[in-house]
């Protein structure tokens, strides 16, 4: 229940549409990604004269939601999308589900048919509140214009507090035409929703005691650390205690991978040494991570010797997948601040030395040759940008290599669809990120499969000259599915080979400069050329068709089933000389 505390406004009566726009301004929304239609035509009319809010017309509603996600992830502020009823609303579903899985604060406004028509199968009617109930943190149908401002206030509050997530507000056409006085509530007080911020002292004490005794501790850091802006506290904590740090896919950037204590990513395609460290650890401190199956594999064999501390703002994440010894419910930043004064340096010299040896024995590797390997492109981007770029990957093999071969240094510089694994995320999300951040260049990295899923956003990007470096790593395959078919389905490549357009010509058709590299020698040059162009620029890298992501722990298996890159030097492509193939190694930390 919302209580408004602001005094009655002396202003004139406003329509719902005007109230909507004024409420967004009150929330300091400076950009909305959207697509108009019949049910929101009144709202678009109200937006027309407003200069405080920039509206970006995407070419598909899914693009609008991913753009809002990219904006939110890169900036830490809530992203906003506005679409019409029916198909406009249903097209947002994938983006909303994506934001729900990855805890991204976005508010999606959907048009709805007039109240009296709801349930009548009216033109462009869809029960979007019903459809999105299981994939939103919360959602609302506004039935009375007098509730509109308070509902919008509450929607932003719910989306951005506690464990963030998507909130949907459904706006019937007639409600938006009704008039009332506008008064925006100053604050929100919901008796049914009170997120935990501070960790409980008793739990903190237990954690401090466990940490003091640890010989082989590991910090297992997830996206929650970045969501709560706690990278600084985490880095201090790791340095003070001398505990090595591994991150999840979404934790990349929370701790600098140039730091000696960094282990890179853990899990299915994590580094050998991060998975080893977790497996042999005697204390695992989970910081804003949720023991996802891509991290744990078989849960009862995950970190089998370790006591486990779990810091999470969402109580339902605690002991959901893995039973932990000391749960601490609270905001990661706050809890780390509470812990910091009471922890001391541990004697982890031997442990860090052991990890160093693992790093030397099992670095990340790939075989480089005349023809381009995706890993090589990522490595070059990493070398050229030195962590000072926002990397937006899509889903598949390139996503894992982008996680492995780029060295992340700053928070909010690695954006990807982790939980839902939404192909087509990168291009629109990078657009949202570029509107949010001017300090770092934004680099969108997709495979040819995912790129074709939201290819239409090239028009939006060109229209607004959004300065994105668009990289397509084209192997003509749905590479990750092909890899699984190769390893687990007897190389029966069912429906994974894929035709694509001429991407350079396509870029030109949209008025975007395009480059192509087909040989390894050309890679660096093409990347450097991209950085000489201010506006959007696209480059296609024709990469070797068949290559696999290693190391790999097959789904549901344990650390002991880890598959590293096969030693045989057999991967020569199109008659590359074996002698020209060199092994490249990279180590995080």
Catalytic residues, by residue number, are 61, 123-124, 173, 480
**300 touching other proteins, by CB under 8 A:** no
- Three-state DSSP at 458 gives helix
DSSP 377: H
Closer CB to other proteins, 97 or 283, in the complex: 97
Closer CB to other proteins, 143 or 189, in the complex: 143
**8 touching other proteins, by CB under 8 A:** no
Nearest approach, Cβ of residue 94 and other proteins (Å): 17
**Contact string 206-245 vs other proteins (x = CB under 8 A):** ----------------------------------------
298 forms beta bridges with none
Residue with tokens 């951005």: 160
Question: What is the Cα–Cα distance from 165 to 469, expressed in whole angstroms?
Answer: 28
570, with CB counted inside 10 A (0-12, 13-18, 19+), is: exposed
Closer CB to other proteins, 36 or 288, in the complex: 288
> Quick one: which of 48, 191, 438, 577 contacts other proteins (CB under 8 A)?
191
309 forms beta bridges with 285, 326
**314 touching other proteins, by CB under 8 A:** yes
Lookup: tokens for 101: 């899985």
Closer CB to other proteins, 119 or 566, in the complex: 119
Nearest approach, Cβ of residue 316 and other proteins (Å): 4
> Quick one: which of 25, 177, 190, 555 contacts other proteins (CB under 8 A)?
190
Closer CB to other proteins, 310 or 359, in the complex: 310
Q: Which stretch binds other proteins (CB under 8 A): 126-134, 264-272, 428-436, 541-549?
A: 126-134
How many residues can be counted in the chain?
589
Contact (CB, 8 A) for 136 and 167: yes
**158 touching other proteins, by CB under 8 A:** yes
**Contact string 11-50 vs other proteins (x = CB under 8 A):** ----------------------------------------
Nearest approach, Cβ of residue 152 and other proteins (Å): 15
**192 touching other proteins, by CB under 8 A:** yes
Nearest approach, Cβ of residue 85 and other proteins (Å): 18
Nearest approach, Cβ of residue 502 and other proteins (Å): 44
Window 328-367: residues binding other proteins (CB under 8 A)? none
Window 127-156: residues binding other proteins (CB under 8 A)? 129-130, 133-134, 137-138, 141, 143
**Contact string 69-98 vs other proteins (x = CB under 8 A):** ------------------------------
**200 touching other proteins, by CB under 8 A:** no
**189 touching other proteins, by CB under 8 A:** no
* Other CB atoms within 10 A of residue 491 CB: 10
Question: What is the Cα–Cα distance from 159 to 199, expressed in whole angstroms?
Answer: 21
Q: How many residues bind other proteins (CB under 8 A)?
A: 21
Q: Which stretch binds other proteins (CB under 8 A): 112-120, 233-241, 308-316, 578-586?
A: 308-316
**119 touching other proteins, by CB under 8 A:** no
End-to-end CA distance of the chain: 49
Contact (CB, 8 A) for 19 and 182: yes
Closer CB to other proteins, 420 or 472, in the complex: 420
Q: Which stretch binds other proteins (CB under 8 A): 191-199, 218-226, 365-373, 488-496?
A: 191-199
Kindly report the three-state secondary structure assignment for every residue of 475-528.
Answer: CCECHHHHHHHHHHCCCCCCCCECCCCCHHHHHHHCCCCEEEECEHHHHHHHHH
DSSP one-letter string for 74-140: HHSSPEEEEE-STHHHHTTHHHHHHHHHTT--EEEEEEE--GGGTTS--TT---HHHHHGGGSSEEE
**315 touching other proteins, by CB under 8 A:** yes
**493 touching other proteins, by CB under 8 A:** no
Peptide bond into 325 cis (omega under 30): no
Contact (CB, 8 A) for 190 and 162: no
Contact (CB, 8 A) for 271 and 551: yes
User: Smallest Cα–Cα separation from 158: which of 183, 193, 198, 197?
Assistant: 193
Find all residues with CB under 8 Å of 9, minimum gap 6, and list them: 181, 182, 183
- Binding stretches for other proteins (CB under 8 A): 1, 129-130, 133-134, 137-138, 141, 143, 158, 190-193, 314-316, 318-320, 323
């Amino acid at each position: 229940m919302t209580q408004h505390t602001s005094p009655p406004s002396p202003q004139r009566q406003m329509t719902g549409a005007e109230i909507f726009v004024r409420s967004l301004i009150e929330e300091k929304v400076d950009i909305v990604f959207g697509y108009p239609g019949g049910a929101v035509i009144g709202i678009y009319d109200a937006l027309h004269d407003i200069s405080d809010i920039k509206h970006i017309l995407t070419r598909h509603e899914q693009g609008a939601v991913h753009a809002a996600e990219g904006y939110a992830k890169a900036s830490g502020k809530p992203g906003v999308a506005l679409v019409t009823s029916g198909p406009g609303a249903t097209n947002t579903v994938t983006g909303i589900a994506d934001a729900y899985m990855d805890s991204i604060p976005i508010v999606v406004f959907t048009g709805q048919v007039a109240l009296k028509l709801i349930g009548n199968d009216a033109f462009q009617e869809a029960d979007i509140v019903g459809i999105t109930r299981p994939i939103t943190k919360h959602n609302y149908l506004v039935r009375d214009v007098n509730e509109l401002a308070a509902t919008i206030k509450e929607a932003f509050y719910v989306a951005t507090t506690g464990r963030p997530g998507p909130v949907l507000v459904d706006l019937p056409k007639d409600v938006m035409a009704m008039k009332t006085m506008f008064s925006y509530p100053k604050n929100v007080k919901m008796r049914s929703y009170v997120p935990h911020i501070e960790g409980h002292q008793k739990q903190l004490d237990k954690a401090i005691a466990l940490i003091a005794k640890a010989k082989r501790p590991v910090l297992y850091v997830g996206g929650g650390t970045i969501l709560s802006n706690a990278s600084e506290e985490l880095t201090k904590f790791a340095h003070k205690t001398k505990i090595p740090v591994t991150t999840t896919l979404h934790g990349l950037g929370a701790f600098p991978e140039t730091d000696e204590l960094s282990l890179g990513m853990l899990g299915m395609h994590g580094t050998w040494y991060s998975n080893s460290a977790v497996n042999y650890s005697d204390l695992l401190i989970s910081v804003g991570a949720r023991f996802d199956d891509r991290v744990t594999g078989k849960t009862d064999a995950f970190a089998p010797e370790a006591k486990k501390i779990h810091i999470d703002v969402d109580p339902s994440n605690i002991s959901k997948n893995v039973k932990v010894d000391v749960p601490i419910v609270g905001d990661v930043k706050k809890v780390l601040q509470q812990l910091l004064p009471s922890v001391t340096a541990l004697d982890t010299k031997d442990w860090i030395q052991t990890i160093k040896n693992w790093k030397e024995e099992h670095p990340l590797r790939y075989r480089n040759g005349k023809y381009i390997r995706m890993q090589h492109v990522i490595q070059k981007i990493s070398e050229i940008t030195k962590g000072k770029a926002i990397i937006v990957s899509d889903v598949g093999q390139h996503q894992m290599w982008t996680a492995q071969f780029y060295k992340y240094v700053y928070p909010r510089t690695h954006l990807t669809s982790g939980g839902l694994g939404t192909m087509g995320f990168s291009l629109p999300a990078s657009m949202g990120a570029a509107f949010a951040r001017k300090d770092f260049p934004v680099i969108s990295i997709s495979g040819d499969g995912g790129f074709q899923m939201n290819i239409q956003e090239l028009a939006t990007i060109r229209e607004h000259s959004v300065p994105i470096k668009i990289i397509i790593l084209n192997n003509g395959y749905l590479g990750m599915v092909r890899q699984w078919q190769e390893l687990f389905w007897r190389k029966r490549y069912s429906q994974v080979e894929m035709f694509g357009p001429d991407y350079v010509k396509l870029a030109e058709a949209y008025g975007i400069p395009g480059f192509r590299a087909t040989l390894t020698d050309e890679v660096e040059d093409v990347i450097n050329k991209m950085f000489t162009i201010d506006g959007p620029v696209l480059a296609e890298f024709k990469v070797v068709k068949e290559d696999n992501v290693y190391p790999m722990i097959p789904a549901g298996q344990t650390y002991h089933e880890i598959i590293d890159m096969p030693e045989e030097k057999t991967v020569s492509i199109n008659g590359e000389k074996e002698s020209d193939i060199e092994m490249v190694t990279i180590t995080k930390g």
